[in-house]
């Protein structure tokens, strides 16, 4: 049997989209190296991400942004893949985190991309003008966008995922068994709780199946063990999910 491991490239100090990959790697039970969290003298640090992104390897489609992942088989890099959903689909397929029939695999990816849309909108609720500017430089615009997010978009997304869980009988998105999209949804619900605690306290009782999901995911043995480890990166004020009380209305 071949020896498979992964090299994850993601910013070392924020959970961001990298945490979606970490959760999936943990549940897959595989080995991985979190490249940028290695010491610099071992080839780590943010510089390692930038360097790898700029490297032109003939035949390899370059990543546009982190996270991206290299698949290493028997010590040889076989594959470089970017875009979170593609990375997750690839790992999931190889390690039993999604059923192998094409229809269910498509459904999982559809759900994952809807989670990704919610992530994008959660981010833009505090950065509606430019990622490259500080929050303080777009605070009035953020107030307007967050009001729409909290009042319209977030309830729509939460209601959708409630309905999706019910469609296949629950308790997970695809039914009785967890898939990688459940892990991402778990992370997003945690992020929303961190960023918008008042709003979530108000909305969660309206989506009981969805509200029950995080405890189930956190109780998966490999996830529980991962969350208790120092590989896990906690939410903070530099990531996608940030707590600005003035936006949580």
Residues at the contact surface with a copy of itself, assessed by CB under 8 A? 56-64, 78-79, 81-83, 85-86, 89-90, 93, 102-103, 106-107, 109-111, 113-114, 117, 120, 124, 128-130, 132-133, 138, 141, 144-145, 148, 152, 157, 160, 163-164, 166-168, 173-174
Nearer to a copy of itself, 37 or 127 (CB): 127
Nearer to a copy of itself, 74 or 120 (CB): 120
Q: How far is the CB of 6 from a copy of itself (least distance, A)?
A: 14
Whole-angstrom distance between the N-terminal and C-terminal Cα of the chain?
54
Angle at 59 between CA 57 and CA 62, to 5 degrees: 60
Nearer to a copy of itself, 19 or 89 (CB): 89
Nearer to a copy of itself, 28 or 173 (CB): 173
**Pairing label, strands 31-34, 68-73:** unpaired
Q: How far is the CB of 86 from a copy of itself (least distance, A)?
A: 5
Strand order in the sheet with 68-73: 31-34, 4-9, 68-73, 76-82
CB 225 within 8 A of CB 23: no
What whole-number distance in Å separates Cα of residue 77 and Cα of residue 204? 43
Q: How far is the CB of 228 from a copy of itself (least distance, A)?
A: 32
Q: How far is the CB of 171 from a copy of itself (least distance, A)?
A: 15
Nearer to a copy of itself, 61 or 228 (CB): 61
Q: How far is the CB of 36 from a copy of itself (least distance, A)?
A: 20
Crossing angle of helices 154-167 and 102-126, rounded to 10°: 160
Of 199, 223, 99, nearest to 150 (Cα)? Answer: 199
- Retrieve residue 97's tokens: 């985190």
């Amino acid at each position: 049997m071949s020896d498979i491991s992964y090299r994850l490239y993601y910013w070392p100090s924020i959970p961001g989209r990298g945490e979606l990959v970490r959760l999936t790697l943990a549940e897959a039970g595989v080995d991985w190296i979190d490249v940028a969290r290695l010491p610099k003298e071992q080839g780590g640090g943010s510089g390692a991400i930038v360097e790898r992104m700029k490297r032109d390897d003939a035949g390899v489609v370059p990543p546009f942004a982190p996270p991206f992942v290299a698949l290493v088989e028997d010590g040889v890099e076989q594959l470089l893949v970017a875009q979170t959903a593609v990375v997750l689909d690839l790992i999931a397929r190889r390690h039993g985190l999604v059923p192998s029939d094409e229809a269910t695999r498509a459904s999982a990816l559809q759900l994952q991309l809807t989670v990704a849309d919610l992530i994008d909108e959660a981010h833009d609720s505090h950065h509606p003008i430019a990622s490259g500017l500080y929050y303080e430089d777009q605070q009035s615009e953020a107030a307007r966008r967050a009001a729409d997010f909290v009042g319209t978009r977030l309830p729509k997304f939460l209601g959708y995922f409630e309905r999706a869980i019910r469609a296949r009988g629950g308790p997970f998105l695809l039914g009785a068994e967890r898939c990688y999209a459940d892990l991402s949804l778990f992370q997003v619900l945690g992020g929303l709780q961190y960023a918008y605690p008042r709003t979530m306290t108000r909305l969660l009782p309206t989506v009981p199946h969805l509200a029950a999901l995080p405890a189930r995911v956190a109780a998966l043995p490999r996830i529980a063990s991962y969350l208790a480890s120092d590989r896990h990166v906690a939410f903070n004020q530099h990531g996608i999910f940030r707590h600005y009380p003035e936006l949580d209305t």
